[in-house]
Amino acid sequence: MALEECGPEQVFQRVDVEPSGDAFNAIELQGETNRPHNPMVNAGAITVTALLHARHARPAFGHLLERFSALAGRPLQMDRAVYESERATGHRNRAIAHLLLNFGMVHEEVEAALDLYFKQCSILVTCRDLTMMSATLSNMGCHPITGKAALGMSCVKDVLSVMFTCGMYDYSGQWAYRVGIPAKSGVAGGVVAVVNRQLGIGTYSPRLDRFGNSVRGVEVCSELARRLGLHVFDCLNVGSSFLETVL
């Protein structure tokens, strides 16, 4: 969304695309540029959310919810109790936001932008929603059932590239080696994985490993990649015709 609405140049002035080597919630920025390492860790996600808040102000959450709903293919809503809990206890994210403010990576309305971040972290989805969002990314931004364009094609390419290198926190290198497809995990226990132009995968299991990734989600995706030859460099990954034959 930020790439489409703010432009790549403005986004990359504030967020890099390099693996961090640190925990997902590290209070740490790049040494030379003071940017977050990538948009897949908390510091980068807060920065991107602040960009969208600066653009849309008070209506920002309604706009985000509408865009997320287009990705899922159905109307989504926020869990008020989760949001209130995040807002009351998110002191580490608040520290990250003020560190970003100190270096000019976010605008002055940092508390309002952080509130938007807490709200978008509290959007309710099912495992099927995760799968449809992933399938939409796989289908170059067009929802495969509704047929509606949810994201621009050029932005999808950029997002999938960063997911491939940074989406699984400090396990991203092992993930690229073992599974070999763009993916993003969340500390709620969800994983989305995207086989470009072929399929989307969504898993949910809340027990996490030391990196913050779903233990079972990682294993399910690893096994699917092994059985179906989904790894981007696997000689069996020759396109959707192969998967249609197998399935």
Last residue within a domain, chosen from 89, 124, 159: 124
Q: Kindly state whether residues 247 and 130 are assigned to the same domain.
A: yes
Q: What angle is formed at CA 173 by the lines to CA 129 and CA 125, rounded to 5 degrees?
A: 10
Q: What average pLDDT is seen over the chain?
A: 93
Q: Kindly state whether residues 15 and 108 are assigned to the same domain.
A: yes
Last residue within a domain, chosen from 63, 89, 124: 124
The domain tally of the chain equals 2
Report the CATH number that the domain containing residue 228 is assigned in CATH: 3.40.710.10
Q: Kindly state whether residues 160 and 78 are assigned to the same domain.
A: no
Q: What is the pLDDT of residues 20-78, one digit of tens each?
A: 888 899 999 998 899 999 999 999 999 999 999 999 998 999 999 999 999 999 999 99
Q: Kindly state whether residues 62 and 171 are assigned to the same domain.
A: no
Q: Domain residues for 113?
A: 1-124
Place of tokens 């249609």: 244
Q: What is the pLDDT of residues 77-119, one digit of tens each?
A: 999 999 999 999 999 999 999 999 999 999 999 999 999 999 9
Report the sign of the C-alpha dihedral through residues 152, 156, 157, 159, in that order.
positive
Cβ 36 vs Cβ 51: under 8 Å: no
Specify which residues 124 forms β-bridges with.
77
